[in-house]
Structure 1
């Protein structure tokens, strides 16, 4: 495995960068698709984009996206800075 040579702190930092990046990517895709990205295939998404039956789903996706963009970026920046410090001082 690639992480065999890393200590516990470095592993936590790498995992933190991975998780926060994944959350930011999902939130970005939800914002682009107005909250319906994860619910259906692309063909079905095009049909359901403006359907009023999916208003609650759109609202939930938009709220999740707003929540992630409000709270996750500081953690991503912190993990990235910690990774930078690990590279500099190791």
Structure 2
């Protein structure tokens, strides 16, 4: 039986070599943000908000044209840590 991810870590590679990680509760939540905020403004130099839901009072903005790559990784939380 396939497992369901507890959350999704989204790794964003930004021009200049910077890397950021944000987390989304569901892959659909990420897809909605990606398609409405990032893709529609992909050539824009204006800032867009990146949702950071796991840290209270903190936010991040970035320029869509500076995003070079995005990797989405499912995160499975459990009672057993495996290395």
TM-score of the superposition, structure 1-length normalised? 0.28
Structure with more strand by fraction? 2
TM-score of the superposition, structure 2-length normalised? 0.30
Question: Looking at CA atoms only, which structure, 1 or 2, has the larger radius of gyration?
Answer: 1
